[in-house]
Amino acid sequence: MTETEKEKLTIVVFSGELDRALAAFMLATTGASMGMDVSMYFTFWGLNILKKNEGSIKSRGLMRRMFNRVNRGGSKRLKISRFNMFGLGTWMMKRLMKEINHPSLEELITMAQEMGVKLIPCTTSCGLMGIQEDGFRSGIESLAGAAFFLNEARQSKVTLFI
């Protein structure tokens, strides 16, 4: 089967919480392991998942700097969307994952990249939030716009908005 004949799975990752990020990457790696051609398109808070875990984003303008200080991101710093309880819930979720030997989000992202899952940041969101490409982890694709995403989506067997 040639590359172009592979079934496509496209996931828009809008959310930046740990639980939704886990769901997105579990589905992406599962899809890739089933032989699907997987693209993930990161927009708004979803960009936080791709941000580097070290330091914080350098961006121009006081307001963008403030915004990225509050909204720091990095796969290891995300919180769960419910019952975070000042970090206790997130800490428990991570412990529970370790206990059943479930890969962490960071490990899932690395797995996804090794399996050829494409990680694509949204141009408009990056412009809006003042994030430059050097703010992201290595190995991701170039920025792309909404038209690129819709073009992938209309060729996909499955498209999800998470």
Separation between Cα atoms, residue 18 and residue 134, nearest integer Å:
22
Separation between Cα atoms, residue 6 and residue 145, nearest integer Å:
23
Give the CA diameter of the chain. 52
Instruction: State which residue, 21 or 119, has the beta carbon closest to a second copy.
Output: 21
Separation between Cα atoms, residue 125 and residue 4, nearest integer Å:
29
Separation between Cα atoms, residue 25 and residue 108, nearest integer Å:
6
132 binds a second copy (CB under 8 A): no
User: Contact region for a second copy (CB under 8 A) — 49-57, 109-117, 136-144, 148-156?
Assistant: 148-156
CA-atom Rg of the chain in angstroms: 16
Instruction: State which residue, 96 or 115, has the beta carbon closest to a second copy.
Output: 96
Mark 42-52 as b/e (b = at least 16 C-beta within 10 Å): bbbbbbbbbbe
User: Contact region for a second copy (CB under 8 A) — 49-57, 104-112, 122-130, 134-142?
Assistant: 122-130
63 binds a second copy (CB under 8 A): yes
Site for a second copy in 32-51 (CB under 8 A): 33-34, 36, 43-45
CB atoms within 10 A of CB 35: 9
Beta pairing partners, 11: 40, 160
104 binds a second copy (CB under 8 A): no
53 binds a second copy (CB under 8 A): no
160 binds a second copy (CB under 8 A): yes
Residues that bind a second copy (CB under 8 A): 7, 9, 12, 14, 16, 19-20, 23, 26-27, 30-31, 33-34, 36, 43-45, 61, 63-64, 66-67, 70-71, 81-83, 85, 89, 92-93, 95-97, 99-100, 102, 124, 127-130, 145-147, 149-151, 153-154, 156-162
